Amino acid sequence: MDKIERIKTWIQLLSTPNFGNVAAIKLTGILGEPSGFIGQKDALTDIEFISETTKEYLYNPNEPDNWNRVVKLINKYEIKFLTVLDDDYPTLLRNIFDPPAFLFYRGNLRKEDFRRTLAIVGTRRASNYGKMMTNEIGGQLARAGFTIVSGLAYGVDALSHIAALNNGGRTIAVMGTGVDQFYPPENRELAEDIIQNGIIVSEYVPGSKAEKWNFPTRNRIISGLSLGSFIIEGSRQSGALLTAKFAMDQNRDVFALPGDINRKQAEGPNYLIKLGAKIVTSVKDILEEYDLILDEQTRIFPELNEKEEQIYQVVIENKPETHFDTLIMKTGFSVGELSTILLSLELKNVIKKVPGNKIVPLY
């Protein structure tokens, strides 16, 4: 299928009035690509969970807003496209309550970048202490093999991306605009470096401007892409705290840097610690949650075949441990086939079996 035509039909699907990501994902899970039913009379006859009004719209959808300009931007910036139907769609993100039905991105998407991800977010007005700890802990996490996820904003976000890049790591910037733009514009050079060493990604159509309501929404993607979120500084009303809330709702780990109780920037992390977030005084506090040590960067992740990768993603998704029966249910493999794949992963030192017929990841 032509890439541009595919993008067009997905945008039309999400442009349907009163029809969001959840409904779009459910519908495409039943019928497949939107190109197979959008504009096709009676293709939705047997679908009961959408209204007749919605069906009528999908039979005769409008052309996406500013479509010619969108196409020009996609071609000009070599923008790539990923949907929930694609194998490369990140497993962690797929399993949040409201995952984006599609993503636009620039850069080099590597599936292994999503195996060990951690979000680092915080205030735009970082203190010297916050800057120092972002650089120190962010750099150590990158050296330990974490892909750092953040939002390219001023302050802690930008510093976390820089820490990853300066330490030979990979990083992902989740945008509140289309990926044709760099926001804030002052971080253009940083964004271009990220494109060379990771990706910038957005659920917003190319050409979408920076709207204030976009940024809180995109924070669910920052946490959704990540095993955990590390909050460095921010007030209780900050975007960083909203990211932490999303992480909690998504049953992901939340880490917080303690700070001076007299400083506004420390208000948010200190509050999270009171709620049960793990206090971080050194990188070891994060690494130990994933059974890692500081020498972990010397290990090279082995190459996995398609079935091994599928099993590993389920194990990561259900960390700290996954029951054998859960793997059977989520993968559809037979007992014998699953046992063979697990043995292969164990020999590659990717997983280990623990009492109770459970499996834990070693990466």
Q: How far is CA 339 from the centre of its chain?
A: 30
Topology of domain 105-295, per CATH?
Answer: Rossmann fold (3.40.50)
User: pLDDT tens across 213-255, in order?
Assistant: 888 899 999 999 999 999 999 999 899 999 999 999 999 999 9
Rounded to the nearest integer, the mean pLDDT of the chain is 91
- Identify the three-state secondary structure at position 139: helix
Q: What pLDDT does residue 1 have? A: 66
Structural contact between residues 156 and 240, judged by C-beta atoms closer than 8 angstroms: yes
**Using CA atoms, how far apart are residues 103 and 88, in angstroms rounded to an integer?**
11
User: Which position has the higher pLDDT, 137 or 1?
Assistant: 137
Cα dist from 9 to 24, 226, 298, 320, whole Å: 12, 29, 45, 39
Residue at 221: amino acid letter: I
Q: Does pLDDT of 333 surpass 60?
A: yes
- What would the mean pLDDT of 131-156 be, rounded to a whole number? 94
CATH top-level class of 306-361: mainly alpha
Beta strands in 42-108 (DSSP E): 80-83, 102-107
Q: Does pLDDT of 303 surpass 80?
A: no
- What would the mean pLDDT of 274-280 be, rounded to a whole number? 96
Q: Does pLDDT of 207 surpass 80?
A: yes
Cβ neighbors of 237 (< 8 A, separation 6 or more) are none
For the entire predicted model, the pTM comes to 0.82
Structural contact between residues 161 and 283, judged by C-beta atoms closer than 8 angstroms: no
Domains 105-295 and 306-361 share a fold: no
User: pLDDT tens across 103-114, in order?
Assistant: 999 999 988 899
Q: What pLDDT does residue 135 have? A: 93
Q: Does pLDDT of 298 surpass 50?
A: no
Q: What pLDDT does residue 134 have? A: 95
Question: 146 pLDDT band (50/70/90 cuts)?
Answer: very high
Q: Does pLDDT of 75 surpass 90?
A: yes
- What would the mean pLDDT of 153-174 be, rounded to a whole number? 95
Q: What pLDDT does residue 253 have? A: 96
- What would the mean pLDDT of 68-92 be, rounded to a whole number? 95
Q: Does pLDDT of 141 surpass 70?
A: yes
Q: Tally helices (H) and strands (E) across the chain.
A: 15, 12
Lowest average pLDDT, out of 131-140, 154-163, 259-268, goes to: 259-268
Q: Does pLDDT of 300 surpass 60?
A: no
Q: Does pLDDT of 281 surpass 70?
A: yes
- What would the mean pLDDT of 29-56 be, rounded to a whole number? 91
Q: What pLDDT does residue 353 have? A: 87
Q: What pLDDT does residue 348 have? A: 80
Q: Does pLDDT of 356 surpass 90?
A: no
The greatest distance separating any two alpha carbons of the chain, rounded to the nearest whole angstrom, comes to 64
Q: What pLDDT does residue 295 have? A: 52
Tokens of 266: 């420390």
Q: Does pLDDT of 299 surpass 60?
A: no
Q: Where are the domains of the chain?
A: 3-64, 105-295, 306-361
- Roughly how many angstroms between the first and final C-alpha of the chain, as a whole number? 37
